[in-house]
Structure 1
Amino acid sequence: MSEQIELSSPPFDSVSSVRFSPKSPSHLLVSSWDTTVRFYDIAANEQKAKFDHRAAVLACCFSDDSHAYSGGLDTSVREFDLNTEKINHLGQHSDSISSMNFSRDQNVLVTGSWDRTVRFWDPRTSSQQLSHNVPERVYLMDLVNNTLVVAMASRLFHIYDIRKMDEPAQIRDSSLKFMTRALACMTDGQGYATASVEGRIAVEYFDPSPEAQDKKYAFKCHRQTIDDVDHVWPVNSLAFHPVYNTFASAGSDGTVSIWDHKLKKRLRQYPKYHSAVPSVSFNCDGTKLAVGVSYTWEEGEEGARTAERPSVYIRTTGDEVKPKGWTGS
């Protein structure tokens, strides 16, 4: 069995996000700067559907096996029926939509935007339920159980209980000195990891007690010394394994690494890809890792001229994603 397949019919422009279905291990969404969201069956290696926006799509997610959502630079929040391929326009932000998550517990779609709001949508009524102002542009969000982490400009973080959005449960500054580029919540709900444009990852815990906060730490990664010069790349994406709670990091150096954050160790670095890796995602049973590979504009127009066409790879995971000495249930 090959460790990795490349999906046929990838996007034409840079990949913004790869997201697996919460229920079906072979269903994948890929949003792109080519203004599309593509829906794949990775087991059959085929594109099942393609949905268009009027501008680059930055974020996408599933609610269940038959519905998906997306948003981006055209500010429109869209719902797709994956069976009928019908598009439903749920509503609008007043600036680009940067991030979205679906809460299956509360049955709401949560969207974050550069318009400095976090909005909640009820797909059943096709309407916006609530809009919450935040102090800065929303760059990234992630949700575990009822805890929503919102990463904003100015290295600001708000942590909310989504059942009580009138004020954040916690307000934090990033532990990293540079702009936040990636965020993912731990599968066990204990905390989150965040990463910066300057090749560092911080591991954080929700529990505000001094004992829990003593466990937080940050480390350098996605760096390389070439001819005595230190090259530092942005960490673009983080994803926690749904079973083992280890995590993957993806960088503009074209590499993906697997980390055991409890032991503070790297378990594996996969062979380098042809371009930067803007997004990674584990499927619901943790047997596959989707890796979006495309140019991420670090070299501007110059680099774009020679950039390869984007690719999406599906890697079969093995023991490298398990923590050392895992006995598990």
Structure 2
Amino acid sequence: MSQFELPDPPNDGITAVKFAPNSSNRLLVSSWDSNVYFYDTTPDEAKLLQKFESRAAVLDVTFGRNDNEAFAGGLDWDVRRIDLESGEQTVISEHNAPVNCVAYSSETNILVSASFDSTLHIHIIEGAKATSVSTIQLPHKAYSISLSPSKLVVAMANRAVYIYDIKTLKDATYRSQTPQSTINVEPWQQRESSMKFQIRAVACMPNDSGYASSSIEGRIAVEWFDPSDESQKRKYAFKCHRSIVENENTDYVYPVHALAFHPVFGTFASGGGDGVVAVWDGSAKRRIKQYTKFGLGVSAIGFSPDGAFLAIGVSPGLESEHDDGIPVEEGQVKIVVRQLAEEEVKGKGKDSKKK
């Protein structure tokens, strides 16, 4: 199928690519260049619609209740709401360190932000503002978060994973009396990653049954929420995003920077520092598709809501470890949008049927 690059890409590394919840041709991109980019990705008509400037690097962005609302966080420590029509930006909460993750739950109208200050902020979004905000103290820094219809998965340092019930978080936030007060909510489950190295990314299954996580050491783990012994026996981890150079007895291992589940078939894609994007059938435990290397590392991926497109953020400095001192050259940062054929993303496992 066809793929194309978006015009006017960021001039520094890409941190997130997110399609609108109700449109397959509206895309948000956040970048280390301190901007959020809003694109029309219509094939043959793709263009940059608007750019929203921040005071510092933007580490994550997400759409909110509709295609005209966005939320972003970054090195300025703020969680901001962006009105994509008017361009107005409003700070809805402030962390005590950079904000590296934001995620919105359409089922409960809450926004979750995670920061290097080892806290989560739970925002209840009603109208054009957050009517209630609460803080949850975490035992470690959160590296990645993801929402399913009923659960929040928080992947942290020390290979720790907390799973929260979203409704419980919302109810506790409503009950808190002081704005942005700290609430004590025990996680629904506490787990330790089966992977030996630091977790890099986490993504929840669209059918609300589990999640996948990836590590800096070329592995992906697939787990289910159901705590029963039968369900937990299904969990597994596998090696990926590795290469062996001919005539060298060396296995090159790359971090898996990004994960995203297909919204229709429940398969998932991974993007790594090796510049490769692969699509996996988690139920059948097999790879469906691997695309030609993009040359530089893949830092972010995202499916459109109908599953017809995959957005891919390509950034330099992600092949092994991030080199902050190496300047980004023109043309290195790319946003590639691929139009998908069904056979590229439809699995054969029992969990890969159309939702």
Query: Which TM-score bucket, shorter chain as reference?
Result: over 0.9
Cα contact 2:150–2:208 (8 A) shared by 1: no
Q: In the alignment, which residue of structure 2 is the partner of 1:283? A: 304
Paired residue secondary structure (1:141): strand
Task: Report the alpha carbon displacement of residue 307 of structure 1 after superposing the two structures with TM.
Answer: 8.2
CA displacement, residues 241-289 of structure 1 (integer Å, 9 cap, x when unaligned): 0000000000000000000011110011001102100000001000000
2:257 paired with 1:236: yes
Q: What letter matches 2:50 in structure 1?
A: A
Pairwise mapping of residues 8-157 of structure 1 onto structure 2 (< 5 A)? 8-43=7-42, 44-63=45-64, 64-123=66-125, 124=127, 125-157=129-161
Which digits, 9 at most, give the CA deviation of each residue in 1:80-123, with x for residues without a partner? 11111111121211111111111112112111111111111233
Which of 166, 180, 186 is matched with 1:162 structurally? 166
CA 1:302–1:96: 2 relative to 1, 3 Å: closer
3-state SS of the aligned residue for 2:297? coil
* Offset, 1:300: 2.3
Closer/same/farther in 2, CA of residues 305 and 167 from structure 1, 3 Å limit: closer
1:320 aligns with 2:320: no
State the distance in 1 between where 2:142 and 2:233 align: 27
2:309, 2:329 → 1: CA distance?
30
- 2: distance between equivalents of 1:302 and 1:33? 13
- The CA deviation at 1:308 is 4.9
Q: Quick check: 1:201 aligned with 2:220?
A: yes
Percent of pairs with identical residues: 43
Distance 1:60 1:328 in 2: 28
Q: Given residue 201 of structure 2, which amino acid in structure 1 is its aligned partner? A: A
SS of 1:320's partner is helix
Counterparts of 2:266 and 2:162, CA distance in 1? 23
TM-score of the superposed pair, with normalisation by structure 2: 0.89
- What is the CA-CA distance between 1:128 and the residue it aligns to? 4.6
Indicate if the aligned counterparts of 2:264 and 2:354 stay in contact, CA closer than 8 A.
no
Question: Which of 182, 186, 189 is matched with 2:208 structurally?
Answer: 189
Distance, in Å, in 1 between the alignment partners of 2:141 and 2:23 is 33
Rate the CA distance shift 1:52–1:307 in 2: closer, same or farther, 3 A: closer
Letter of the 2:336 counterpart: Y
The separation in 2 between residues aligned to 1:36 and 1:108, in whole angstroms, is 24
Contiguous gaps of at least 5 residues in structure 1: none
Corresponding letter in the other structure for 1:6: E
SS of aligned partner of 1:228: coil
In the TM superposition, residue 144 of structure 1 has moved relative to its aligned partner by 0.5
Q: 2: CA distance between counterparts of 1:24 and 1:300?
A: 35
Q: What is the CA distance between 1:304 and its match in structure 2? A: 4.4
Moved more, 307-316 or 252-261: 307-316
- 1:250 partner letter: G
- Identify unmatched segments of 5+ residues in structure 2: 170-184
RMSD (Å) for aligned C-alpha atoms: 1.7
